[in-house]
Structure 1
Amino acid sequence: MYQFKPISERMQRMHQLIRDRVIQSDSETAMITTRCFQANENLIPYLRRPTVLKAICEQMTVRVEDFEMLVGNTSKNFCGTGYAPDWGGAGLLPFVIESGMWTLREDGLYHNPDDEELRMSIAPEDYENLKSITDYWKGRTYNDIAAAWQPKGYEELCRMNVSATLKGAPLLMMPSGHLTPGFKKIINVGYGAIRKQAQDWLDSHVNNLMGEDVNKNLFYTAAVLSCAAATSLLKRYSEKCLEKAASCTEAKRRAELESMADSLAWISENPCRTFREACQAAITYQYILRLSFIGDIGSFGRFDQYTWPFLKKDLEEGRLGMGEAQEIVDCFFMKINSMYGGGVIGVPGGGDLIKIIGIGNTYLHTTIGGVDPKTGEDASNPVTSMVLESLARLSLHDPTISLRVNKNTPAELWALALETSTKVGGLPLLQNDEIIIPGTMKELGFTLEDARDYAIIGCQEITGSGNDYSAANGVAPPHSSIHYSVLLDMAINDGKNPFNGEQCSIHTGYLYDMKSFDEVKEAWRILASYFIKAQVSLNNYLEYLVQYHTPHPMLSISLDGCMESGKDCTWGGAKYNSYGGTATGLATVADSLTAIKYMVFDKKLCTARELYDAVMANWEGYEPLRQQIINEVPHFGNADPYADEQMTWVINTYYNTCKECYSTRAKIFKAGLYGAADHVGQGYTTWATPDGRLAGTPIADAASPVQSRDINGPTAVFASSLCYDHTKFMDGVCLNIRLHPTALSRDDGIIKLRDMVKTYMDNGGAEAQFNVVSTEALHKAQENPDQYRNLVVRIAGYSAYFVELTRDCQNDLISRHENMI
């Protein structure tokens, strides 16, 4: 068994503060943003955004905690949150207070109700500040701009309730992003050199702007402002460290603060010199991106690859020991946890979306392991293991960690990864280089070297490292995915959604009038194609708005291609451009088709009318038929070709339609099979389905089998999952398997699991993740949450502390089949 290292006292303290947090909102960045908008109302958006960022970096409170060796914050309070009023929401918090939903308590703060999953608060003065700017932002937010006009077809898309696009819901809910920023450039080049490159272009083009030079002039001007903002903030952190050092009575800590001050001042302009500086530069850049209100970035990239050269040099030159380095890594990942601000920008607590995205999830996915981009040889290093150490020892559910594995991944790293999975459910995810590298070349047009350097973001999405504007969940999340199980109900109901009774413009006929199984499949295919393209059409309209109103100069300065071309990443300046969506729970569609084929057309065990009536009745009065379908009809996930045939067809149909979609910026619309906990959210508004599922209950999660329908063990799940070509799905694949802890309680259990996963991946599997927890333990955690406070589980696209999940998400996890090896 692997022996994990002890945790330092100050890291234990930091961890406890994060676990016990009550997220305190404040008005500081909202007020700075508002004042800056008021002073620059006529400034074009491309220059106004970095102007606002610069003001925030120059005026916001900077914090240096007593237990930190890496610094950074986005709000006045530790583990606090601010608001982006231009994105909306500034008036929502005053509303919940004035309505009595939040109450003033003895600590002098307003608090949300105790029965809400996420604990939040706000001081009265911050409430008054937010209230004072509410009127200014009425009609001025990005969503107000988007809501002023929509393309024809939008109304139908909303009315049919087949996606996250609903009437009254924000069209621009959050900033575009979903990619891996250029951390290597920030670390190895530095803000000073980037700013000089931009300024040199500007100086050489005074009174000489021809053709697209005007756009480039705007871009490079914004780049100069962005670099100046970053430099200002880092120097202010340096000054704060010196201020704290001056009053520090403990010699070792005082020396550390002085060293931190020197490093922060240095990296404000220059390339990094040490391991700590590389970690600090990466974490600060992410904080600055968040201050520029790019809250949906979703990645820290290949952390072990861009930091290891610095640690290697530190070790060789005697500046740092492995114990000190491990503490820096511990601090790095807890700083990520302290970035969590309570959900969607501007929405206290994340609203209903918290049921899908979970609590405490920053989605700052971090990738370790994999191969060297130039040689293709395994590139795992000591930092790779240190990341897993931090994850396991501190019981961190966030950020999600993906371990890239290949044919030469060391056995010791496999063992550590699987041992970590027994301590923190579902982490690390295992990503297969042998499938993803050729897949990104084939689907995304990456060169071999860039493909070898891929990183995972958000839930599962695959991107380039600092060279790819991937918009992997759509350019304006969450407008990127369709509820395919709803479409199946519509396909057998003449295009009408039985959940809300709305009729779409396409009439497919009724199941009982269909003469062949091919007619059933064709009805679903027609609807899937129509609504995928409807959703992508809306996304393309929003991309137009994003390019003008919400571009990303602070992000663009680090992405390969943007500084070279003088184009913002949202304009297509990055080396690679794509966008994409995901199909959550296609196993529900596939199992439903299998049930129709088996029961009606092949075995003739019931009539089409009988099955149709049973589904439309939500199975009331048809329980014997429902049980027959559940227990007799083959299901995906059991290595049964009869069922797997339908999953193959459904997935390929989805993929083929994605290949027909594109925008002005990106000719590639990627297909994905992931989805946070959207399978639970989609289930709430999906009527009963022909596979025996009841209305309102979860659909299958991500690319996994329907809950409890996989009964032949994990090898059968893997075999079924290979029924389609994983290299096609370069927006990411998510396969969840739950294992009983006894399966890994002996050393040979770890070896068996490793060999089983390697066999799966050798045969074409792209990804796998495991929950190692018993049903008994999950029930006990529901009954005694305090005793299981640090139990981490994997839902689909994120991990979470089990006791912080909604009861529906908890029950969904319990319902999944418990496998033995």
Structure 2
Amino acid sequence: MMNNAEIKVSSRIQGLIDELYKDHPQIESERACLITASYKQTENQPMVIRRARAFEKIMNEMNIVIRPNELIVGNLTTTPRGAQIFPEFSNKWLEDEFDKLEKRSGDIFKISSDTKQKLSEAFRYWDGKTTQELATEYMYPETITAMDAGVFTVGNYYFNGVGHISVDYRKVLQKGFKGIIEEAAQQLIALDKGDPQAVKKSHFYEAVIISANAVITYAKRFAALARSQAQIATSTKRKEELLQIAKHCEHVPEQPARTFHEALQSFWFVQAAIQIESNGHSVSPGRFDQYMYPYYEKCVINGSLTEEDAQELLDCLWVKLNDVNKVRDEASTKGFGGYPMFQNLIVGGQCKDGRDATNPLSYACLTASEHTKLPQPSISIRVWNKTPESLLEKAAMVSRVGLGMPAYYSDEVIVPALENRGVSMADARDYCIIGCVEPQVGGKTEGWHDAAFFNMVKVLELTMNNGFNNGIKVGLQTGELTSFENYQSLEDAYRIQMEYFVKLLVNADNSVDVAHSERAPLPFLSCMVDDCIAQGKTVQEGGAHYNFTGPQGVGVANVGDALMAIRTLVFEQKKLTLAQLKTALDSNFGTSMTTSQSIPAFNNTNIGMSDPAVAQLVEAVIKEVLSRTDQKGSAPTQVQTSANEGEYIRQMLINGAPKFGNDLDEVDDVAREAALIYCKEVQRYANPRGGRFQPGLYPVSANVPMGQVCGATADGRRAGEPLAEGVSPVSGRDQHGPTAAMNSVAKLDHHIASNGTLLNQKFHPSALAGQEGLSNLSALVRSFFDQKGMHVQFNVVSRDMLVDAQRNPEKYKNLVVRVAGYSAHFVSLDKAIQEDIISRTEQHF
């Protein structure tokens, strides 16, 4: 076979990309109007039937288009990258922000006055009927208070549809929806009328049949459109392509796929239809190179399709995946910047029987990302000790392109982590990644990953303020900071606050979970997830084989560094009193006070205890400031911190104690324990679907807005500054290179964080130059995974380029970077997220 590197990008691909990105995306009202009309017609029917009938109406009546020179067809909106609206989940926020959508600093959407009017009319029907409103009714008042204070947010499913799933694409490819309809019909016929759940199950099976037939109709509409366009095509080649498209759409997804092209088309119809039913993001292709390979092998390996033609088809699908979009509220765009949809596609790893799963399609998928240079799909690679070096090298070559992809995952950690959660060995070996970094068994799991962002730093802040936030009691009163006599008493208070807030988090997540099961079941999605048809339940009701809820903790490194600074400087070295620390934090290190002159700040990325001369100077000045006595000759217990003193205290916190990310056991162990306090508490709880909670440690890009609601912290971070992202060290605090940083991260317990952990590394492009650079990256990944790290991804871009892109966005429209668990066009990001990426430590080998 040909080396994928030798296959050039076809001219068609750039044309498709140009068509897709020719303008800002638009908001469209069509789906909102159609579902509203359907709901008005089905007021007295069971909810799951209402959902199916609404889906049927949308698929039958929505406008369909075939974009110029497409080979894979099926649109979600009339305009490229447009966003439909899903009023059944939430809508008031959108109407409030109609006039802001085109003025945002990131994730800009166009919206016409006609669309605004149609949406406003539709929204009136949904007043009091949304999942968000029902979920809010189920929450305790204390839960809402904690959310308002910024302790956690469950906005993902609170405002939107359910996503974060990988369905059984293989089932559709092998059986077609005709086979799935027959399966549901057989279950319907076989129902025991004496079964107390028979009525409910029968409604589910009817909904599956309606929904699956709706997608078949949707596909046949494209067959008819392709034939009509073929009749007027001026190019013979395009006419042949359109006729071929028509044949494919007449056959799939109703029938089993016969060729690689049909398999790709069938896959895309599934992907598009899931998004049309519900606007949940992170609907992930999963182990694409495994379920799609038989069709690739049949056509490419056996010679009926050239590798070049197969690669072009694959590249076309990659472009198509970037046509999926959604609109989020302005606040959420600061946590999910860059129009992300998190469609994670993973290659490599091992088979269910423990053999290496790498195949030629694994390489072709990486080549497709290299060719298109687009944010979607979020391509990933599974790595274990039998991963071929050639696949790792291919992945490193794609990393070197500078897309922030692929992300790398360790089978050696994830497989046992899933087994520990009750997943069988065979299923655990067959895991995929969905969304950012979340492992799940595709086609069998309703994971509710990304169920919440939990602000660990805010919990520490509330602990140090006796449960109060800006004068409002939010948490438990575990004692004034100055009352703690030793470090253990502070850690114990933090643990008690954590227990309290995690319980409220569970209440919030379970409230949203129940609201979705009652008001927005998804029969189409459910028909492709085991064991929904066997049980007669939607995934929202617990029909999936595996059920989880996965909230993630944010700010591990900040909490670790802050606790280490307090332990070292207050309780061990006694260079600082708790009263002095609290005064400094409350005044944001003196910056909240009026001063006659500004004090130049130290450069955090350069100053450190590794520079003895600077460190001695800083420590000497700090000692002088802090050793001042009052008139009685004793050290003051309360000081009004000036800007000078505040900055010196801040520098002592930064430089006077070890920092996570430098391979220092004393601080790495503190960070590990801080993470475990959160993780162990989360895993105690169950969800309404018969499953359990599992913790994760990753932020998407929520570390930026979550930092904005936190005051100054004892790691030297100023109020409002971003938190550390994922399990990465605080930007600039990892001063001993990538290996030391990864050694620190590997000391966290990644097995317990089975909902996923996220490590970002940023390399200067020169670090990956030549064969040596590729080999170094491969060795770094293997070394990290040998130490039981779970995940790592790399931004390969210089700081200078990012700064220039921020200043001159018109020159960098195609610059794709890794934000957190996803990649996005840099210029589309909110400035705060851009600054966070720029500030990350730039590594060299």
TM-score (norm 2): 0.90
In 2, distance between residues paired with 1:159 and 1:230? 41
Matched, 1:493 2:482: no
Choose from 117, 124, 128 the match for 2:106. 117
Q: Which residue of 2 aligns with 1:6?
A: 8
* Partner secondary structure for residue 356 of structure 1: coil
* Partner secondary structure for residue 529 of structure 1: helix
Q: Name the amino acid aligned to 2:337.
A: G
Report the Cα offset of residue 632 of structure 1: 2.6
> Taking structure 1 as reference, are residues 530 and 784 closer, same or farther at Cα in structure 2, changes over 3 Å only?
same
Mapping 1:571-590, distance limit 5 Å: 571-590=541-560
Q: Name the amino acid aligned to 1:660.
A: R
Partner deviation per Cα, 1:585-634 (whole Å, 9 max, x = no partner)? 21100100000001001111111211121111111131111112212310
In 1, distance between residues paired with 2:4 and 2:10? 19
Q: Which residue of 2 aligns with 1:108?
A: none
Partner deviation per Cα, 1:369-427 (whole Å, 9 max, x = no partner)? 111223x2221222212222221222212221111111121222111211111213321
Report the Cα offset of residue 116 of structure 1: 3.5
Q: Which residue of 1 aligns with 2:139?
A: 150
Q: Which residue of 2 aligns with 1:641?
A: 665
* Partner secondary structure for residue 793 of structure 2: strand
Report the Cα offset of residue 294 of structure 1: 4.2
* Partner secondary structure for residue 122 of structure 1: coil
Matched, 1:245 2:230: yes
In 1, distance between residues paired with 2:495 and 2:781? 33
In 2, distance between residues paired with 1:316 and 1:513? 72
Q: Name the amino acid aligned to 1:405.
A: V
Partner deviation per Cα, 1:540-575 (whole Å, 9 max, x = no partner)? 122222222111211110111111222211111111
In 2, distance between residues paired with 1:306 and 1:170? 29
In 2, distance between residues paired with 1:303 and 1:577? 22
Mapping 1:199-278, distance limit 5 Å: 199-205=185-191, 208-278=193-263
Partner deviation per Cα, 1:703-753 (whole Å, 9 max, x = no partner)? 111111000111101111122222221101101111121111132122122
Report the Cα offset of residue 486 of structure 1: 0.9
1:54–1:225: 8 Å Cα contact kept in structure 2?
yes
2:370–2:398: 8 Å Cα contact kept in structure 1?
yes
Q: Which residue of 2 aligns with 1:723?
A: 747
Q: Name the amino acid aligned to 2:787.
A: N
Identical aligned residues as a percent: 31
In 1, distance between residues paired with 2:279 and 2:830? 27
Q: Name the amino acid aligned to 1:199.
A: A
Matched, 1:161 2:150: yes
> Taking structure 1 as reference, are residues 755 and 171 closer, same or farther at Cα in structure 2, changes over 3 Å only?
closer
* Partner secondary structure for residue 692 of structure 1: coil
1:422–1:772: 8 Å Cα contact kept in structure 2?
yes
Q: Name the amino acid aligned to 1:538.
A: A
Q: Which 10-residue stretch deviates more, 254-263 or 698-707?
A: 254-263
> Taking structure 1 as reference, are residues 717 and 170 closer, same or farther at Cα in structure 2, changes over 3 Å only?
closer
Q: Which 10-residue stretch deviates more, 555-564 or 292-301?
A: 292-301
- Size of the aligned set, in residue pairs, is 789
Report the Cα offset of residue 667 of structure 1: 3.5
* Partner secondary structure for residue 240 of structure 1: helix
In 1, distance between residues paired with 2:69 and 2:699? 36
Q: Which residue of 2 aligns with 1:31?
A: 33
Mapping 1:656-735, distance limit 5 Å: 656-735=680-759
* Partner secondary structure for residue 702 of structure 1: coil
Matched, 1:413 2:385: no
Report the Cα offset of residue 152 of structure 1: 4.8
1:357–1:798: 8 Å Cα contact kept in structure 2?
no
In 2, distance between residues paired with 1:171 and 1:805? 22
In 1, distance between residues paired with 2:21 and 2:370? 15
1:22–1:119: 8 Å Cα contact kept in structure 2?
yes
Q: Which residue of 2 aligns with 1:106?
A: none
Partner deviation per Cα, 1:668-719 (whole Å, 9 max, x = no partner)? 2111011210110101111110010000000110111111100011110111
2:253–2:269: 8 Å Cα contact kept in structure 1?
no
* Partner secondary structure for residue 276 of structure 1: helix
Q: Name the amino acid aligned to 1:134.
A: F
> Taking structure 1 as reference, are residues 183 and 517 closer, same or farther at Cα in structure 2, changes over 3 Å only?
same
> Taking structure 1 as reference, are residues 155 and 388 closer, same or farther at Cα in structure 2, changes over 3 Å only?
closer
Q: Name the amino acid aligned to 1:661.
A: Y
Q: Which residue of 2 aligns with 1:766?
A: 790
In 1, distance between residues paired with 2:115 and 2:826? 32
Report the Cα offset of residue 159 of structure 1: 4.5
In 2, distance between residues paired with 1:651 and 1:187? 42
1:336–1:362: 8 Å Cα contact kept in structure 2?
no
Partner deviation per Cα, 1:196-239 (whole Å, 9 max, x = no partner)? 11112323449x34222222112111111111111111111111
* Partner secondary structure for residue 275 of structure 2: helix
Q: Which residue of 2 aligns with 1:803?
A: 827
In 2, distance between residues paired with 1:79 and 1:176? 20
> Taking structure 1 as reference, are residues 8 and 691 closer, same or farther at Cα in structure 2, changes over 3 Å only?
same
Q: Which residue of 2 aligns with 1:507?
A: 477
In 2, distance between residues paired with 1:699 and 1:740? 23
Q: Which residue of 2 aligns with 1:81?
A: 83
* Partner secondary structure for residue 408 of structure 1: coil
Matched, 1:172 2:158: yes
Q: Name the amino acid aligned to 2:555.
A: G
* Partner secondary structure for residue 751 of structure 2: helix
Q: Which residue of 2 aligns with 1:347?
A: none
Q: Name the amino acid aligned to 1:85.
A: P
Choose from 458, 464, 471 the match for 2:448. 471
Q: Which 10-residue stretch deviates more, 632-641 or 396-405?
A: 396-405
Matched, 1:818 2:804: no
2:763–2:843: 8 Å Cα contact kept in structure 1?
yes
In 1, distance between residues paired with 2:768 and 2:323? 32
> Taking structure 1 as reference, are residues 469 and 92 closer, same or farther at Cα in structure 2, changes over 3 Å only?
closer
> Taking structure 1 as reference, are residues 818 and 665 closer, same or farther at Cα in structure 2, changes over 3 Å only?
same
Mapping 1:390-409, distance limit 5 Å: 390-409=368-387
Q: Which residue of 1 aligns with 2:524?
A: 554
In 1, distance between residues paired with 2:740 and 2:6? 33
Partner deviation per Cα, 1:241-285 (whole Å, 9 max, x = no partner)? 111112113222222211211111111321111111111111111
Q: Which 10-residue stretch deviates more, 330-339 or 775-784?
A: 775-784
Report the Cα offset of residue 317 of structure 1: 4.2
1:30–1:83: 8 Å Cα contact kept in structure 2?
yes
RMSD: 2.0
Q: Name the amino acid aligned to 2:432.
A: A
Q: Which residue of 1 aligns with 2:350?
A: 371
Partner deviation per Cα, 1:776-810 (whole Å, 9 max, x = no partner)? 22222222222222222212122122222222112
In 1, distance between residues paired with 2:513 and 2:21? 38
In 1, distance between residues paired with 2:156 and 2:818? 29
> Taking structure 1 as reference, are residues 656 and 782 closer, same or farther at Cα in structure 2, changes over 3 Å only?
same
2:131–2:512: 8 Å Cα contact kept in structure 1?
no
Q: Name the amino acid aligned to 2:417.
A: G
Report the Cα offset of residue 53 of structure 1: 0.2
Q: Which residue of 1 aligns with 2:565?
A: 595
Report the Cα offset of residue 484 of structure 1: 1.0
Q: Which 10-residue stretch deviates more, 286-295 or 703-712?
A: 286-295
In 1, distance between residues paired with 2:509 and 2:572? 41
TM-score (norm 1): 0.93
* Partner secondary structure for residue 795 of structure 2: strand
In 2, distance between residues paired with 1:359 and 1:778? 15
Partner deviation per Cα, 1:357-379 (whole Å, 9 max, x = no partner)? 112311111111111223x2221
> Taking structure 1 as reference, are residues 423 and 712 closer, same or farther at Cα in structure 2, changes over 3 Å only?
same
* Partner secondary structure for residue 793 of structure 1: strand
2:177–2:254: 8 Å Cα contact kept in structure 1?
yes
In 2, distance between residues paired with 1:245 and 1:260? 10
> Taking structure 1 as reference, are residues 275 and 741 closer, same or farther at Cα in structure 2, changes over 3 Å only?
same
In 2, distance between residues paired with 1:572 and 1:222? 17
In 1, distance between residues paired with 2:527 and 2:331? 35
- The structure that has the greater radius of gyration is 2
In 1, distance between residues paired with 2:448 and 2:156? 18
